[in-house]
Amino acid sequence: MPARIRIELSEEARTGLSKKAKSGLSEQRAATRAKMVLMCADGMTTLEIASRLKVTRRLVSVWCKRFLERGVSGLEDMPGKGRKKNIGAEERVGIVAKACSVPTDGSTRWSIRKLAKALGRSRSFVHLVLRAADLKPRETRYWCGKSPGPEFKEKRAAVLGLYLSPPENALAICVDEKPQIQALDRTQPCLPMAEGKPKGMANTYKRNGTACLLAALSVRQGDITARCADSASAKEFLKFLKRLYAKHPGRELHIIADNLSTHKQADVKAWLESKKRVHMHFAPTHASWLNQIEIWFNIFTRDVVRGGVWPSKKALVDQIMLYIRNYTQRT
C-alpha cells in the first residue's frame, strides 16, 4: 500500500505555506517543498505527490518528515550544505598577493576579470577568495595626512572661534576662488525631461571659454558676495578684497582663506597692512575644509555647473550671478 504521512496544519500554517508555494518571489525549491507538505496534509500519498511534482518518493518523505520535526524552518536548507570550494592556503595567499600588487600593463588597479585571466581561474572563484579576504580592488579610500604646519591647533582654534563667537562689530568672511568653470555647449539641442524619460544631452560638446568665480561667504548672515574674472590671479584677488572692504564700511573684517600663493603676494600683503580693520586668517595646511565657502562651492557646483549648457562665456557668467543673487535673497 502506498506510504502516507499524516500532517495536520493550522489555518495560519496552511496560509503561510500556500503563499510560499504560489509566490513568484520564492525560489523553486522552497515552493516545491511547501507544495509537498500541503499535498500531504490533504491526504495524498508520497507516490501521488512525487508523480504530481515530478520528484522522487524519497524526496517527498524527507521534506514532509522534516516539517513534522521542525515546522516551517525544517523546509530550509541545512547550513553548510552544497559543494565546498577547495581552495588551498598557498593558492589563497597567492591570489591575495596578486590582487594587492600593481598590474604591469599600465593600469592602476586590478579588475576581477583581469585578475582571473592572469591567474587562469574563473571570475567566480577569484571573487570568492577576495570576498573572504575582504578585498575590493575597485575601491580606494582617501585620507588626509597630518598637517605639516607647526601651528595647526592654534590656527584651527582661531578659525573656529571666529565662526562661533566673532568680535563685536566684526564680520567673519570666508573667501576662495573656483577657477576654470567651463562654458560648455552641446552640439545638439538638449531634450527636456518627460514622464518616464530623463533629460537628454548629446555626448559631444564645444568649449566657449572658462570663467573664475571669486566668492565670499558671510558666516553669520549667510549671504554671498561674488564676482567673475578671467583668472584666479593675485591681481583679481586683491580687487575682490577691495570690493569687500568697500561693501562693509566701518566694520572689522576677519577674512578666512586658504594658503594659495596668490593670497600671499606682495601687493596683497602691502594692501592688508595698510587697512587696520582687515584681518587675514589662513586655514592650516591641509585643512581647507575649515573654510566654509567650500561647502557653498559644493552647493553651487551641484545646482549650476553640473549639466549646464552655455552658448557663450557671457551666458555662463550671467547665470552664475543670477543664481548668486537669488541665493542671497533666500538666506
The 10s digit of each residue's pLDDT in 86-128 is: 667 888 899 999 999 999 999 999 999 999 999 988 898 899 9
Is the pLDDT confidence value at 266 over 90?
Answer: yes
For residue 81, what pLDDT band results from cuts at 50, 70 and 90?
A: low
Question: Mean pLDDT throughout 297-304?
Answer: 95
- The answer on pLDDT for 79 being more than 70 is no
The domain ranges of the chain are 11-75, 89-132, 152-330
The answer, yes or no, to whether residue 254 has pLDDT greater than 90, is: yes
130-145: per-residue pLDDT in tens?
998 999 988 888 777 7
**Strand segments (E) across 203-309:** 205-218, 224-229, 252-257, 278-282
Q: Given this model, what pLDDT does residue 218 score?
A: 94
Dihedral angle of Cα 25, 30, 31, 37, to the nearest 10 degrees? -150
One-letter amino acid at 325 equals: R
- Looking at residue 80, its pLDDT comes to 54
Average pLDDT rounded to a whole number, residues 73-96: 73
171 pLDDT above the threshold of 80: yes
What does the pLDDT read at residue 21?
A: 83
297 pLDDT higher than 60 = yes
**Best CA proximity match to 123, nearest among 81, 83, 88, 95:** 95
Q: Which residue has the higher pLDDT, 16 or 218?
A: 218
pLDDT (0 to 100) of residue 292: 94
Residue 182: its H or E element: strand 170-186
Name the pTM for this structure: 0.63
Q: What is the pLDDT of residue 176?
A: 96
What type of residue is 166? Answer: P
Contacts of 187 by beta carbon, 8 Å cutoff, 6+ apart: 202, 204, 205, 206
CATH architecture type of domain 152-330: 2-Layer Sandwich (3.30)
Q: Is 126 exposed, middle or buried (0-12, 13-18, 19+ CB in 10 A)?
A: buried
Q: What local confidence, expressed as pLDDT, does residue 12 receive?
A: 85
Pairs from 133-137 (Cβ < 8 Å, separation ≥ 24): 133/92, 133/96, 133/99, 135/96, 135/99, 135/100, 137/99, 137/109, 137/110, 137/111, 137/112
* pLDDT score at 188: 92
For the chain, give the percent of residues with pLDDT over 70. Answer: 95
Which pLDDT belongs to residue 303? 95
Buried b (16+ CB within 10 A) or exposed e, 235-269: ebbbebbeebbeebeeebbbbbbbeeebbebeebe
- Mean pLDDT across the chain: 89
| pLDDT at residue number 169 | 86
- Model confidence at 331, pLDDT cuts 50, 70, 90, reads low
